[in-house]
Amino acid sequence: MTEPLRWSPARITALERLTPRLLRVELAPAAWQRPRAGQHVDLRLTAADGYQAQRSYSLLSPPEREGRIELAIERLADGEVSPWFHDVAQAGDEIELRGPLGGHFVWDREAAPPTLLVGGGSGLVPLLAMVRHRAAGPAGAPMVLVAAARSATEVPLRDELLAEEAAGRGFTLRQALSREASVARAQDRAGRPDAAFLAEALRPLGAPGGVRAYVCGRHAFVEAIAGHLQLLGVPAAHIRTERFGG
């Protein structure tokens, strides 16, 4: 019988604004374990009166970031944990951490097939860990990231993604910006990702039947994207999804 993971302390080592809604939180866990790209951790806060609140957050950092983990925490107005990080937390503060957790929504660089990543909003976070994991090793099969956001300023790590694309190692970024009137690059679009946009994203990956897809975001977003991909020829068994919210 597997022993349940224990809570252990973790110290905040850095806080940085990634986008208007996302805060990068770097942690130094007392007991660091090498994660897999796409996994998450549980965080727990304890108030002075003993009240505890906990939430799960996807890892932004790749497995190669030894001794540290990075998260991207979105501010939720009715949240118990995210407002503390955005408004109160400082470097040096200590919290509790459990993980890494999750074995389904993970991507391993070794022998990976052509991969399509599609994320909306904070659902981009685990996909960015996958992109960073790929970038840390030798170029392999092609990868395309479809980043759905309100505007270019809300695509986290956008400069890093553009630099990896420019490196010519088989990575492509395609942005679907729902609140932009126009886009500067032909491969992007003003609007949400529809079937035609996804078909173009699949093109450099070869036959859809050989593609693995990872889709993360709100429930309705994930349902729509997964449906489009199946109609475009990506087998349902090749589509991994992670959902949150309504």
Q: Which residues are within 8 A (CB) of 8 and not within 5 positions of it... i.e. 6 or more apart?
A: 29, 30, 31, 96, 97, 98
DSSP E strand boundaries for the chain: 8-17, 22-29, 40-46, 52-58, 69-74, 94-101, 115-120, 143-149, 171-177, 189-190, 212-218, 239-244
* 7, pLDDT greater than 60: yes
Are 172 and 145 spatial neighbours (Cβ–Cβ below 8 Å)? yes
Q: What is the pLDDT of residue 4?
A: 64
Using DSSP, how many helices (H) and how many strands (E) does the chain show? 5, 12
User: In the predicted model, what is the mean pLDDT of residues 38-66?
Assistant: 95
* 3, pLDDT greater than 80: no
More confident call, 78 vs 242: 242
Q: What is the pLDDT of residue 227?
A: 98
Are 72 and 24 spatial neighbours (Cβ–Cβ below 8 Å)? yes
Is 0.75 surpassed by the pTM of this model?
Answer: yes
- Reduced to 3 states (helix: H, G, I; strand: E, B; else coil), residue 228 is helix
Look up residue 7 and give its two tokens: 């809570």
Q: What is the pLDDT of residue 233?
A: 98
| Closest to 202 in 3D by CA, of 88, 136, 115, 98 | 115
What count of Cα atoms within 13 Å lies in the side-chain half-sphere of residue 173?
A: 26
More confident call, 132 vs 244: 132
- All domains of the chain in start order, with CATH: 8-101 (2.40.30.10), 115-244 (3.40.50.80)
How sure is the predictor about 244, in pLDDT bands with cuts at 50, 70 and 90? confident
| Closest to 63 in 3D by CA, of 116, 118, 114, 107 | 107
Terminal CA-CA length for the chain:
35
User: In the predicted model, what is the mean pLDDT of residues 50-69?
Assistant: 95
* 223, pLDDT greater than 60: yes
Look up residue 200 and give its two tokens: 């173009």
Q: CA-CA-CA-CA torsion for 196, 226, 133, 125, nearest 10 degrees?
A: 100
| Closest to 122 in 3D by CA, of 40, 204, 208 | 40
User: In the predicted model, what is the mean pLDDT of residues 92-109?
Assistant: 95
User: In the predicted model, what is the mean pLDDT of residues 201-214?
Assistant: 97
Please give the single-letter amino acid code of residue 173: L
Cα 21 from Cα 25, distance rounded (Å): 13
Q: What is the pLDDT of residue 1?
A: 43
- Residue 85 phi/psi, 5-degree rounding, is -65, -40
Count other C-beta atoms under 10 Å from residue 84's C-beta.
Answer: 17
